[in-house]
Chain A
Amino acid sequence: KAGVTQTPRYLIKTRGQQVTLSCSPISGHRSVSWYQQTPGQGLQFLFEYFSETQRNKGNFPGRFSGRQFSNSRSEMNVSTLELGDSALYLCASREGDAPGEFFGPGTRLTVL
């Protein structure tokens, strides 16, 4: 099976813009989670989707949103970008309730 894929791998935006990141989970995995990784805060949970429904959410402002499609692919959106949003955004998928999340390579977002 192909692993978790994320597009784009690198992105440069300016303050105030918005951005959409995409994640394709491993085939058959219905749970998709998003994480933000920064040098200062480490890895932080953003949200989790299962069967097109958000079922868990981290402590991030409303500028961060996401959705999941019927084919389990997921997108996350960040509006009104701030410099502090510069980070590696990681997507992970899981098969049902099985242990272990499979992470993608991430999208590195730079906000100028």
Chain B
Amino acid sequence: DAKTTQPNSMESNEEEPVHLPCNHSTISGTDYIHWYRQLPSQGPEYVIHGLTSNVNNRMASLAIAEDRKSSTLILHRATLRDAAVYYCILNLLRNTDKLIFGTGTRLQVFP
């Protein structure tokens, strides 16, 4: 299973954009890039996923490097509620599912 590398922690102020990086230099051509987050005392929550093109949804944007060896999750305006551990995961999107979670990035948001 391909590995991902993320910074242990990041900080942001409320209402500022946040760019959470993820390196996945051993990604294969069929791996999708998924992001989940885990709020305190809750199970993980799906955020976004992509393969090659940048993606946007109501929660965040995902920017994927042209060589696919790295990606960035973008929170356009951080809120206190976005304080969580963010996980970048590579996953084959087909009929079998097995998420390999790394250590993730703990995001702190200050008022």
Which positions in A face B, CB cutoff 8 Å?
A: 4, 31, 33, 35, 42-45, 48, 50, 55-56, 58, 90, 92, 94, 96-97, 99-106
Q: Let me know if A99 and B101 touch, CB within 8 A.
A: no
Complex A-B, nearest 8 residue pairs according to Cβ-Cβ distance, in ascending order: A103-B43, A100-B46, A43-B101, A56-B98, A99-B49, A103-B44, A90-B43, A45-B98
Q: Let me know if A99 and B99 touch, CB within 8 A.
A: no
Which positions in B face A, CB cutoff 8 Å?
A: 32, 34, 42-46, 49, 87, 93-104
From B46, B87, B98, give the contact of A102 (CB < 8 A). B46
Main secondary structure of the interface of B (DSSP, over half): loop
Q: Let me know if A100 and B49 touch, CB within 8 A.
A: yes
Tell me, in angstroms, the Cα distance from A55 to B93 when the chains sit together: 14
Give B1's nearest chain A residue, CB to CB: A45
Residues in A with CB closer than 8 Å to B87 are 43
Closest CB in chain A relative to B85 CB, distance in Å = 9
From A48, A96, A97, A104, give the contact of B98 (CB < 8 A). A48
Q: Let me know if A31 and B45 touch, CB within 8 A.
A: no
Contacts A33-B97, A55-B96, A97-B94 hold; do A92 and B102 have CB atoms under 8 A apart? Answer: no
Give B94's nearest chain A residue, CB to CB: A97
